Amino acid sequence: MAEEQEDFSKLPLADRFVHKNWKVRKEGYEAATKEFKTAQPSDPLVKDFIADSNIWKGAVADANVAAQAEGLNALNAFLEIAGKPGCTRCAILPGTPLSYS
């Protein structure tokens, strides 16, 4: 019999970003990308990710390459909506290349 898989989509996005399972992280990054593309700069989700900007370090340096690609997509969508406050808070200014060291 097939095991039932737990539904992680009910976890908050921030919890999915740091989950031990790469598939959960990848799904979280994909969900965040969709949310950011329809969000407004004043939305609580955007403000939460500006306030906890360290969460992006794990996303852009994810050990799983498929999850990392989605993490970069999520970061890009976030920076487009968060503007200068998000870029400044993440220590990523427009035109500045990302460092993966």
**According to the model, what pLDDT value does residue 39 have?**
94
Sign of CA dihedral 78, 79, 83, 88: positive
Separation of first and last alpha carbons in the chain: 44
**According to the model, what pLDDT value does residue 84 have?**
83
Query: Which tokens in the block code for residue 24?
Result: 């959960």
**According to the model, what pLDDT value does residue 12 have?**
92
Render each residue's pLDDT in the chain as its tens digit; 101 residues.
Answer: 445 577 888 899 999 999 999 999 999 999 999 999 999 999 999 999 988 888 888 898 899 999 999 999 999 999 999 888 888 777 654 454 554 44
**According to the model, what pLDDT value does residue 97 have?**
52
SS3 101: coil
Q: Supply the DSSP symbol for 20.
A: S
Residue (of 20, 19, 77, 18) closest to 52 by Cα position: 18
What is the rounded distance in angstroms from the CA atom of residue 6 to the CA atom of residue 18? 17
What is the rounded distance in angstroms from the CA atom of residue 67 to the CA atom of residue 72? 9
Query: Which tokens in the block code for residue 93?
Result: 């200014």
